[in-house]
Every structure is written in C-alpha cells, then in structure tokens.
C-alpha cells in the first residue's frame, strides 16, 4: 500500500475563493470551485497550469480540453491558451503544446502543418500534406473534410428531409398542391442547407 507523504510536505487550501465580476452590473461575488460548472473548472484548470509554467520549459499535453466548454469558449480557447503561455514574457523558454480534440473550433485556430489527423486503421496524416488549410477555415468545412461529416444538422431531423427526397426521387413533375404538402411536412424544422436544397428541388419539380 502506498504510504502518505510526511505531514510537513503536504499542503492544502482552506476557503479558497474565486472573484467573479458580473460584466453588466460590475457586482463581484466570491465562489468556491465547487460552485463552478464542469466547463468553468476545466477552463480554469487548463489556464492555471499554463500560468504555473512561467519561466519553465515544458511539454503540455491536453486531452480534449474543450469537452465541457460551450461553443463560445471553444472558439476562444486557443487564443486564450496562447495568451496564458505568453504571460511568462520569456523569449528563450520553449513550451510545446499537444492537444487532442474533436472540436472544429480548435482546429480552425491551428496551422495545417500542426494538425495531424488520426483515423482507425490508417496512418496519421498531416493537414498540410492533405493540402487542406485549417487556419481560419469555416468549422463546416473542417467537419466535412477532416471529420467526414457532410451534414449541417442532426441525423434525426435530417432523416425527415431525406424521407421526402426518397418520395420524390422518381418524380418528373409535382403539382402545386403536392409541393405545398411536402413543404408543410418540414415546416417545423429550422433553417438549414439541407432544407434549402429540398425546397429548391421541390420548386424545380413544381408545375403551374
């Protein structure tokens, strides 16, 4: 069984609070770590590690650090991470960061020569050698080219649209009444590229 370290080498914090300022009211409140969400804790943990590396050479390994982040935080993460690592203001200190991620926002802030794509049963591929420019690229294009996800909506809602495509697959013409009926079937769906393409096909088949 492992033995605990001597008491004099163990330290802990009591009543450690974080100050949080409301950007609207400017009111400051004091929070314990347990009062924060999983995403907030993960965010502070990652950035805290970066700030602790001040004046130190290091390799920082981050395994899907954005897991609990909302979309806004995911889009800001790389820039915030960079600012934290630059806080040491030391030019001759090397800090390398290895990040595993499924977030297109993270990839959109990385240069292609720094992006390695892994797929089961295949050798790793460098995005630059794939001639795919990741830096500043739309998340939709990253999803399509790197994650092979060609749809902009979830599978459940997409299936409703595809069911209509199947119905009209062999149709040469549709009456105005039929077009109206098909469009009403997806009227509860929000705007998407898939819905736009369906409406375009229906309009193409419509006869006056």
Per-residue 3-state assignment (H helix, E strand, C coil) for 78-131: HHHHHHHHHHHCCCCCCEEEEEECCCHHHHHCCCHHHCEECCCCCCCEECCCCC
CB within 8 Å of 105: residues ≥ 6 apart:
66, 71, 74, 75, 77, 139
8-state DSSP, 172: S
Average pLDDT of span 54-68 = 84
Pairwise CA distance, residues 128 & 139, whole Å: 17
Secondary structure percentages of the chain, helix, strand, coil, to 5: 45, 10, 45
Q: pLDDT band at residue 163, thresholds of 50, 70 and 90? A: very high
Q: pLDDT band at residue 8, thresholds of 50, 70 and 90? A: low
Question: What CA–CA distances, in Å, run from 171 to 162, 166, 167?
Answer: 15, 10, 8
Q: What pLDDT shows up at residue 100?
A: 93
- Share above pLDDT 90 across residues of the chain, in percent, rounded to a whole number: 43
| pLDDT tens by residue, 12-28 | 666 677 888 888 999 99
Q: What pLDDT shows up at residue 22?
A: 87
pTM for this entry: 0.72
Q: What pLDDT shows up at residue 92?
A: 58
Q: What pLDDT shows up at residue 11?
A: 59
Q: What pLDDT shows up at residue 18?
A: 81
| Average pLDDT for the chain | 86
Q: What pLDDT shows up at residue 191?
A: 92
């Amino acid at each position: 069984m492992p033995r605990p370290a001597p008491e004099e080498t163990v330290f802990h914090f009591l009543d450690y609070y974080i100050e949080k300022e409301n950007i609207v009211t400017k009111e400051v409140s004091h929070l314990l770590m347990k009062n924060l969400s999983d995403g907030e804790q993960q965010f502070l943990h990652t950035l805290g590690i970066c700030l602790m590396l001040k004046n130190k050479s290091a390799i920082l390994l981050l395994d899907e650090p954005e897991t609990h982040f909302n979309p806004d935080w995911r889009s800001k993460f790389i820039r915030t991470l960079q600012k934290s690592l630059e806080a040491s203001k030391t030019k001759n200190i090397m800090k390398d960061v290895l990040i595993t991620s499924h977030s297109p926002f993270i990839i959109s802030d990385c240069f292609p020569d720094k992006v390695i794509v892994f797929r089961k049963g295949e050798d790793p591929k460098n995005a630059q050698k794939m001639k795919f420019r990741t830096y500043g690229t739309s998340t939709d294009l990253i999803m399509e080219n790197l994650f092979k996800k060609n749809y902009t909506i979830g599978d459940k809602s997409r299936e409703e649209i595809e069911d209509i495509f199947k119905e009209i697959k062999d149709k040469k013409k549709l009456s105005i009444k039929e077009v109206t009926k098909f469009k009403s079937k997806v009227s509860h769906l929000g705007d998407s590229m898939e819905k736009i393409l369906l409406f375009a096909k229906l309009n193409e088949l419509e006869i006056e």
